[in-house]
Amino acid sequence: MGCSSFDNVITNPMSATAQTAPERDPKTRIQPLSAFSDNYIWLISNRETAVVVDPGDAVPVLGALDRLGVRLTAILLTHHHPDHVGGVQQLVDATGARVYGPANEVLPLCDVAMSDGARFSDTGLGIDLTVIDVPGHTAGHIAYAGTVGGSAVVFCGDTLFAAGCGRVFEGTPAQMTASLARLAALPGDALVFCAHEYTLSNMRWAREVEPANQELQGWQAEAIRQRELGDPTVPSRISRELACNPFMRTAIPSVVQSASQWAQRDLDSPVEVFAALREWKNSFR
């Protein structure tokens, strides 16, 4: 459990407890760059080059590139929201990096339009990612799933969060349910690189949905400690989401029962359960 259980491809420059694991000094690292109040921009780098995911702000990225002495070669985008694309133009101007983004969204800049099944690979960084269409939060939202440095990963933007999911702004509950099902089908050990630190508030709500979920209780205690230390609670893992995230558990009887009780009616399908959960979470304070 805890940060140290994650594969050593993950490093956390913000962490007081980060372990450098010198004997396994990974060639490729993935690190979170904090932006705005609660965004994470993910930077994948080795000693020469870097790729960045969802740079809502160029400043922290340029700072990290400078600090690491690496060259930015590519920018991967999951969806069009400003807190994910706001830094793209400035980064391209400064570095000439190539921009990969969702084919079905209007972006400030995009060189390569990516839709379901498209690949992004970088042999130098050990990146091999395939695009999954995950509409719902936005109409054309995509995720990048595959491996980085040998570890299973998914960069899912605002679709899946630790113990939560994105709001359904442009799509439908049915689309979001299908999108989350596609993420649920990824390998259990896949690290979930989501774009916001929403974990503790998601967990407070998830505990209301499933008060008896022991794994969720344990994870919540761990996440509280991480936040007290100023550490990120992410990446999460698909297996943990399956065990703890109500939005990934719309077929689990205890979740169905809780959602039905909240909605005060019978819910007859995972989509109805999802829609009730989403409404519940939207109104939860």
Q: What is the layout of strands, in order, in the sheet containing 191-194?
A: 119-122, 127-133, 142-148, 151-157, 191-194, 236-237
- Six-digit token pair at 149? 């440095």
Name the minimum Å distance from CB 167 to Fe ion.
Answer: 10
Angle between helices 199-209 and 253-263 (to 10 degrees): 90
Give the contact letters, 43-82, x = binds to Zn ion (CB under 5 A), - = no: --------------------------------------x-
Q: Which amino acid, one-letter code, is at 87?
A: G
Residue 105 contacts Zn ion per CB under 5 A: no
Select 196 or 240, whichever has its Cβ closest to Fe ion. 196
Q: How many CB atoms lie within 10 A of CB 115?
A: 13
Angle between helix 199-209 and helix 270-283 axes, rounded to 10 deg: 120
String marking each residue 59-98 x if it binds Fe ion according to CB under 5 A? ------------------------x---------------
Look at residue 164 and give its three-state secondary structure. strand
**158 is annotated as an active-site residue:** yes
Report the site for Zn ion in 135-164 (rule: CB under 5 A).
158
133 labelled catalytic: no
Give whichever of 81 and 240 is closer to Zn ion, judged by the CB atom. Answer: 81
**How many CA atoms lie within 13 Å of 223's alpha carbon, on the beta-carbon side?**
22
CB of 97 to Fe ion, least distance (A): 21
Catalytic annotation, pick one of 57, 79, 122, 231:
79
Catalytic residues: 79, 81, 83-84, 137, 158, 196
Binding site for Zn ion (CB under 5 A): 81, 158
Binding site for Fe ion (CB under 5 A): 83, 158
